[in-house]
Amino acid sequence: MNVLILGSGAREHTMAWKLSQSPQNPTLFVAPGNAGTASLATNLPLSVTDFGGIAQAVHQNNIELVLVGPEDPLVLGISDYFAADPQLANVPVIGPNKTAAQLEGSKQYAKEFLIRHGIPTAAYAAFTADTLAEGQAFLTTLKAPYVLKADGLAAGKGVLILSDLAEAQSALAEMLVDQKFGAASQTVVIEEFLSGIELSCFVLTDGHSYKVLPTAKDYKRIGEGDTGLNTGGMGAISPVPFADEAFMDKVHQRVVIPTVEGLKKDGITYVGFIFIGLIKVGDDPMVIEYNVRMGDPETEVVLPRIKTDLLTLLHATGQGTLHEVALEIDTRTATTVMAVAGGYPEAYQKGHPITGIDQVKEALVFQAGTAQKGDQVCTNGGRVLAVTAFGADYRQALAESYRGLSHISFQDMYFRKDLGFDL
Ligand code: AMP
Ligand code: GLY
């Protein structure tokens, strides 16, 4: 089977690696991919939002399944684009349609969905420039800290958590009136602040049945001890040690089932991954956000723990026969540590040679911002590569991830040495 993966991160390298293990021997294509995916697949120089170019590549390469990594093509409607074209409609796209993708593309849509289906989440209200005064008055009814969220996609930067009321009121004006996050902040969701520890839960669904995939916890801040700026993710651990059976039972009953059933009630046949961002408040799960795709770097620890053939799972998802497939999970812990370019998530350099990847024997190296220059793999992005390892628990797995990383070097390489510090 010929499979096309859209994206260029370590998430997509992991997807290609997992599919390359399939006994069905699929032929893999990645658009646009990176130096890591090039070793397992044919990279196609296409943007993930170039639907016309992707359609052409699907025809030229007899692609029979498209796996979408990032959210942008989903929010822009790639699934609908395929469904509307008689020549493409029989090629399953693993990723939801444009309506469902609003679960990630619009915070307000997600909040309305959560409330409509009785799924636990923070209380909220949404405002626009026309209701700025009401929004500022609403803030006075809340206790600090104040949570302000740009409604639309803002590359992970659209959430502000402020401790001062006056600061929150002026930030609201900046978002709504001065369009601090462009069109993404034309609507702003103001939320009750929730205090607890975060984790993520992943669900694969064909619109009828579903599988709950392993949990993961990612580390978003650049600095040790969860300090400094937010990043795309500096590492991840799976499973999450505090997500015990009793807690996961609550997640299943209160969140996963009502989400899957809620989609059906709303008339949405959701085909793809649902990434549920949770916060554990006391002993109870609350939903912070939905994403309509797998996480990065969560994929780098979740997929290696899935023993079931990924191609079988994805094919069944596309065919609506997921209930026929048994999901088998590796009970070991997997951890991944992301190595980034010095300066990231602010300005950083590209083009530095990376050495030592082939010396890593005890761990898996999933490449993100890398490019091949002649014989040499060079840095080509902020997050450069992720090193995944297994262990009996997260400490042992992390020791292996760090041992793997010790072989690798590039100029100004940085990684967090404290993952798991909060567990
Ligand atoms: P989001 O983009 O909605 O995932 O929000 C980004 C981050 O902001 C989350 O990962 C949380 O750390 C934090 N956050 C979002 N909503 C809340 C909330 N209601 N209470 C506390 N922290 C929050
Ligand atoms: N690691 C968070 C994300 O993929 O959005």
- The confidence score (pLDDT) of residue 380 equals 97
Q: Give percent of the chain with pLDDT exceeding 90.
A: 95
Residue 206 near ligand 1, beta carbon < 6 Å:
no
Residue 206 near ligand 2, beta carbon < 6 Å:
no
Average pLDDT over residues 340-367: 96
210 has a pLDDT exceeding 80: yes
47 CA to centre of ligand 1 in angstroms = 29
H-assigned helices in 155-309 = 165-176, 245-250, 257-265, 299-305
User: Are 5 and 12 a contacting pair, CB within 8 Å?
Assistant: yes
Locate the ligand 2 atom nearest the alpha carbon of residue 295 and give its number: 4
Question: Which single residue is written with the structure tokens 């840095």?
Answer: 379
Locate the ligand 2 atom nearest the alpha carbon of residue 156 and give its number: 5
Residue 233 near ligand 2, beta carbon < 6 Å:
yes
Q: What is the mean pLDDT of the chain?
A: 96
Q: Record the tokens describing residue 338, joined without a space.
A: 């992301």
Residue 317 near ligand 2, beta carbon < 6 Å:
no
Average pLDDT over residues 29-42: 98
The model's pTM? 0.96
Report which protein residue has its CA nearest ligand 1's atom 8.
Answer: 159
- Rounded to the nearest angstrom, the gap between the alpha carbon of residue 256 and the centroid of all alpha carbons in its chain is 17
The end-to-end CA distance of the chain, in Å, is 42
- The confidence score (pLDDT) of residue 156 equals 73
Question: Which single residue is written with the structure tokens 């390469």?
Answer: 61
User: Are 117 and 144 a contacting pair, CB within 8 Å?
Assistant: no
Average pLDDT over residues 169-177: 92
Residue 218 near ligand 2, beta carbon < 6 Å:
yes
336 has a pLDDT exceeding 80: yes
Residues 274, 286: Cα–Cα separation, whole Å: 16
Task: Please tell me whether residue 135 adopts helix, strand or coil conformation.
Answer: helix
pLDDT-derived band at 155 (thresholds 50, 70, 90) equals confident
Whether omega before 73 lies within 30 degrees of 0, making that bond cis, reads no
pLDDT-derived band at 154 (thresholds 50, 70, 90) equals confident
pLDDT-derived band at 195 (thresholds 50, 70, 90) equals very high
**Which neighbouring-strand residues pair with 333?**
391
396 has a pLDDT exceeding 80: yes
